[in-house]
Structure 1
Amino acid sequence: MTKFAVFLRGINVGGINLKMADLRTALATLPLTKVKTLLASGNVVCTAEASAGELKSMVEALLRERFGYDAWVVILDDAQLNAIIDACPYPADDASTHSYVTLSSDPAVLDELARHGGEIPGVELVRLSPEAIGWPAASGGTLDSPFSKLSARPRYKSTTTTRNLRTLLKCRDALA
């Protein structure tokens, strides 16, 4: 059995509202064990006898069928999640800055985001792994940050999602 963190894109924002209890009930129909949701923003930890790609396909198909929206997820196994957290140079708890990690199911998309983001004055990015880019944003200015606006473009919707570093830490702790 492999431990996984599953990050749903766009949950409980933009009109896609899912109750975490309903999400857990739906996921219980898949061959998963130890399913737990964290926060209300579409974070799930579980174990499965499947590859990350197989799990991604199963979860996206289930969400589309059960909840009727274009569902996209990024799946990390526990080793990937730990490596991303360990590589992040930004603090998890800083009153003036929030540390974010943009995750992707397609490393080429992150290459593109890093290239474009690096061209924006004042944007600080660090590649944490093939699946992740870390970046800081001033507290209270996350949605207005240039990289947030770049990564929110429709082109990236199907392959990326962004989480606060604190959320990744909670997922890691839940997998322990």
Structure 2
Amino acid sequence: MARYLGLLGSINVGGNRIKMAELRDVLTEAGFKDIATVAASGNVIFTDDSDPAMLEIRLEDVVQSHFGFKSCAMVRSAEEVRAAIDENPFHGTEAHHGSDKMVHSIFLSQQPDKSAVDAVIEEHRAKGSERLALGDRVLFLDYVHGVGVSDLSNKFLEKRLGCKGTARNMNSLKNILAKMN
């Protein structure tokens, strides 16, 4: 059995409120095993033998049917979570004085065309100081001055890249990875 992280998008933002204890109960009823949640933002660690793409569909279906709203789900192994930290070129840079709160890895539903990412980088170059780089089904983003003041919203990026995504900052990912092992 493999240990996975399910990253649920749109959890406890807007009107999409879910208590993590209820999420654990619902996922247990749906057949997920060894469930742990980390923080209240839709980070679910579990054990399963199914294909990760099928697990994403199952997670999305459970949230939709039980909680009544659509959430995107990305499922990643511990190795993929570690790569989303280690391969993030903005992680641990001097610009943040040791804090990676503004540095994010956005987990993507598929690998976007590099030309689409390059177009976003070029389009945004004159608009803000954020930095972007592409990894394997992950977009690395340094929000520099904060997510709330950036034009690079999840909705904007999804439209430009043609795929869904959900972001976590480096501090959260390190905490999650420690709980996966």
Percent identical among aligned pairs is: 22
Structure 1: runs of 5 or more not aligned: none
TM-score (ref. length: structure 1): 0.86
- Aligned-partner Cα distance in 1 for 2:100–2:108: 26
Structure 1 residue corresponding to 2:130, chosen from 123, 129, 149? 123
Query: What letter matches 1:80 in structure 2?
Result: E
CA contact (8 A) 1:125 1:135 kept: yes
**Corresponding residue of 2:106:** 102
Three-state SS of the structure 2 residue aligned to 1:69 is coil
Question: Relative to 1, partners in 2 of residues 1:69 and 1:2: Cα closer, same or farther, differing over 3 Å?
Answer: same
- Aligned-partner Cα distance in 2 for 1:107–1:36: 28
- Aligned-partner Cα distance in 2 for 1:96–1:59: 28
CA contact (8 A) 1:110 1:133 kept: no
Q: Which runs of at least 4 in structure 1 moved beyond 6 Å after TM superposition? A: none
**Root-mean-square deviation (CA), in Å?**
2.4
CA contact (8 A) 2:100 2:171 kept: no
Spell out the pairing of 1:90-169 with structure 2 (5 A cutoff): 90-91=90-91, 94-95=98-99, 98-108=102-112, 112-121=116-125, 122-129=129-136, 131-139=137-145, 141-147=146-152, 149=153, 151-153=154-156, 155=159, 159-169=164-174
Spell out the pairing of 1:1-176 with structure 2 (5 A cutoff): 1-91=1-91, 94-95=98-99, 98-108=102-112, 112-121=116-125, 122-129=129-136, 131-139=137-145, 141-147=146-152, 149=153, 151-153=154-156, 155=159, 159-176=164-181
Alpha-carbon displacement from aligned partner over 1:56-85 (angstroms, at most 9, x marks no partner): 111111111111111211111122112221
Structure 2: runs of 5 or more not aligned: none
Question: Relative to 1, partners in 2 of residues 1:95 and 1:62: Cα closer, same or farther, differing over 3 Å?
Answer: closer
CA contact (8 A) 1:63 1:71 kept: yes
Question: Relative to 1, partners in 2 of residues 1:97 and 1:67: Cα closer, same or farther, differing over 3 Å?
Answer: closer
**Cα displacement (A) at 1:111:** 6.0
Question: Relative to 1, partners in 2 of residues 1:32 and 1:137: Cα closer, same or farther, differing over 3 Å?
Answer: same
